[in-house]
Structure 1
Amino acid sequence: MARLDTSRGYARGVQSAVYRAGISGTRPAVPSTFAGLEQGARRALSADAFAYLAGGAGAEHTMAANVEAFGRWQVIPRVLRDVAERDLSIDLLGRRRATPFVLAPLGVMELAHRDADVAVGRAAAALDVPYILSNQASRPMEEVVAAMGGGARWFQLYWSASDDLNASFLRRAEASGCEAIVITLDTHLLGWRTRDLDLAFLPFTRGQGIAQYTSDPVFADLVRERVKRGVSDAAAPAVKVNAKSVAAAVGMAREARRAGLVDGGLADALRSPLPRAAVETFLDVFADPSLTWDDIAKVREWTDLPVLLKGVLHPEDAERAVDAGMDGIVVSNHGGRQVDRSVPTISALPAIAERVAGRVPILLDSGVRGGADAVIALSLGATAVGLGRPYAYGLAIAGATGVSEVVRNAIAEFDLTLGLAGYTSPADLGPDALRPHPLVE
């Protein structure tokens, strides 16, 4: 799509581009509603891939609650205010950002599209939206950063059981020009993900979504040491040889070759113990359930970048994070993928915002479906909001173009909702812009 004319407002530029293209019969690459995106992704993806991207924990009550909780709030439009000129920018971590959106870290994007994280990075950079690179990426951070040019990027860290590996990830993030580190705290144990369990599908066991690991020198040493010691997973059942297991073996071998773990051709990689050892090593070191506040303090030894803690839902944890010198908080329940019956993020936000009292920025993700949701989140105390599943579905439907249109639409809807509500800047939003829905408790 040609560059938007946003001189009279971002939303107007988007609408004009869409409607003018429609004169010649060209329609958007992706639907403009979340329901449409989800339907399109379901059609585009395999059952395993869609279940992994769309699913949540348990009976998925938290996923539903994340969305329903936004419905407990209503915007109160104000009229006869001059909203002809609107500025969507915000201050975040010492920089002026074009919009209040960031792209939340999503893992295993190769399930959605072959270009995976690279496609997401390109779209984010083109729209001037910060992209939080996932620790569970399908492409190494260096490859994604090369495709992003000067686009803003942060790095998400899953705290590994290996401190040497954690430190290595952060060194690479700094070298890659990442502006901040986001430590995800709510995945120290893998949630009870019923869709994946029913399909017996976990992408990591197939070597998918571990590119940050296989491209890391510390992790490579751990893998080689494992092979040298002859360590195997004795508790794992024997794998049946069939079309699926062979495809998984080929996928692991290709990933090991691409990461440089194995020299030679694909046949050499298939004969090598290293690809399977890489998967087993990942499963061993991925998370540390014993992680505590004392451990988090180590991050200051590994990086000078700003550090945000992601997965905070209790005001006491938020206050402790600020007291511990963290630079920001991400109110998140992992999109409902970890704890069923968890508190919805937008419900947790007001108490956290009150406790933090503006001392550090607060980001919110989980349940954000578009620009109107962002208006609600910013009114209740968020500094910025993270988009997640919507852009993954856009990626599945139309690659980088799909991601771009999803994010563009969210920004445009935010701009339009802001103006129609009588405001010209995110800074103008506050609790008085909303009222509780009278029919929803």
Structure 2
Amino acid sequence: MSDPNNPNIAIRTTPQWALYQRESFWNTNDGKYPIFNTDPAEIEKLAKEKLSQGGWYYSSCNAGLSWTHLSNRQAFYRHRIVPRMLVDTNQRDTATEIFGHRVSAPIGFAPIGINRIYHPTGELSVAKVAQELNLAYCLSSAGSYSIEDVGKANGSGPRFFQLYQSPDDELCISMLQRAFDNGFDACMLTTDTWSLGWRHNDVFTGNYAFYHDHGAGDLGLQDPVFQKRLKEAGIDPKKNPKEAGQKWIDENIWHGRAITWEKMKWTMAQWKRISGGRPFCLKGIQNVEDAKKAVEL
């Protein structure tokens, strides 16, 4: 199993799974059992039971017939980890560095939009846990809570900002400035989702939180430029939250306007100017030639 007095544990920066397993087995002597099964399939089943129908559909369904999702998994399954034996791995550590931040493991929290449809605390709880684990956290610009509040929840944790390129340059700059001012010191521009994919279950049930009670979310509503745009359009977000949400998502997030390499270079230049040269990444690149071009730029 695992010896809790193993002196090598002291140098490791991540929780010891073997100790968790040991505790789980031992605690059954006192009638205590884990609160959930760690099998991913069982966690998924539990999520389906706990979430609303809309929350489940938004988190689980993919575009089209999910063939890309399936092929990605099949490609991943083809990889194998083949360990070498009789090697001294006692003083091992999963800690690594990303964008100048020392993190406890080479994994992080990906940018997922509108977390409030899963739980009232939305991105705040996720950002807090990321900081506690010292793992990188990335906030989606389609998030529920404001950039400022998520930054506070993440505390001293390493955090990055994912940007959906708005065709409104003033709004784009405003979001980048807010992100950097609140400790998000790397920008990840999404290149492959300027128009929402066709998700059968969401379309069938009208599952689009921005058009309903969620509206634009605090991330959009607290942006000074978007507030100005609402005023120009004569939309009061308190009286007409659905109309405000429609304006936010349709005109600034999934707006259907293709992003070009030239526009990307403009966005990168704005981020570099605002952040003093902090990292800028492209998210969603799928072609080798595009990847090479990204490196060149």
Q: So what's the TM-score if we normalise by structure 2?
A: 0.87
2:10 paired with 1:7 = yes
Contact 2:166 2:251 in 1 (8 A): no
State the 1:185 CA deviation.
0.9
Letter aligned with residue 260 of structure 2? T
State the 1:50 CA deviation.
0.5
Q: What's the counterpart of residue 419 of structure 1?
A: none
Contact 1:56 1:195 in 2 (8 A): no
Q: Give the percent of matched residue pairs that are identical in Structure 1 and Structure 2.
A: 30
Deviations 1:355-404 (A, max 9, x none): xxxxxxxxxxxxxxxxxxxxxxxxxxxxxxxxxxxxxxxxxxxxxxxxxx
**Distance (whole Å) between structure 2 residues aligned to residue 29 and residue 186 of structure 1:** 38
Letter aligned with residue 164 of structure 1? E
> 3-state SS of the aligned residue for 2:138?
strand
**Distance (whole Å) between structure 1 residues aligned to residue 26 and residue 153 of structure 2:** 30
1:144/1:285 CA distance change after superposition, 3 Å:
closer
Alignment of 1:119-158 (within 5 A): 119-158=125-164
Q: What's the counterpart of residue 209 of structure 2?
A: 203
Contact 1:8 1:84 in 2 (8 A): no
Alignment partner for residue 263 of structure 2, among 272, 275, 295? Answer: 295
State the 1:281 CA deviation.
1.5
> 3-state SS of the aligned residue for 1:59?
coil
State the 1:99 CA deviation.
0.8
Moved over 6 A (4+): none
State the 1:288 CA deviation.
5.3
Q: How many residues align?
A: 280
**Distance (whole Å) between structure 1 residues aligned to residue 98 and residue 290 of structure 2:** 21
Contact 2:147 2:219 in 1 (8 A): yes
Q: What's the counterpart of residue 252 of structure 2?
A: 285
**Distance (whole Å) between structure 2 residues aligned to residue 51 and residue 21 of structure 1:** 36
**Distance (whole Å) between structure 1 residues aligned to residue 190 and residue 23 of structure 2:** 38
Which range moved further: 12-21 or 277-286? Answer: 12-21
Contact 2:52 2:118 in 1 (8 A): no
> 3-state SS of the aligned residue for 1:7?
helix
Q: What's the counterpart of residue 116 of structure 1?
A: 122
Higher relative contact order (CA 8 A, sep 6+): 1
Letter aligned with residue 46 of structure 1? S
Letter aligned with residue 301 of structure 1? Q
Contact 1:183 1:308 in 2 (8 A): yes
1:123/1:30 CA distance change after superposition, 3 Å:
farther
> 3-state SS of the aligned residue for 2:184?
coil
Letter aligned with residue 284 of structure 1? E
Alignment partner for residue 48 of structure 1, among 32, 50, 54? Answer: 54
State the 1:96 CA deviation.
2.5
> 3-state SS of the aligned residue for 2:210?
helix
Q: What's the counterpart of residue 323 of structure 1?
A: 296
For structure 1, the residue ranges without an aligned partner over 5 or more in a row are 229-260, 263-268, 325-441
Q: What's the counterpart of residue 214 of structure 1?
A: 221
State the 1:207 CA deviation.
4.8
State the 1:316 CA deviation.
1.1
**Distance (whole Å) between structure 1 residues aligned to residue 182 and residue 29 of structure 2:** 43
Contact 2:210 2:246 in 1 (8 A): no
Give the superposed CA RMSD.
2.1
Alignment of 1:389-428 (within 5 A): none
Q: What's the counterpart of residue 181 of structure 2?
A: 175
**Distance (whole Å) between structure 1 residues aligned to residue 155 and residue 25 of structure 2:** 31
Alignment partner for residue 307 of structure 1, among 273, 280, 295? Answer: 280
Q: So what's the TM-score if we normalise by structure 1?
A: 0.60
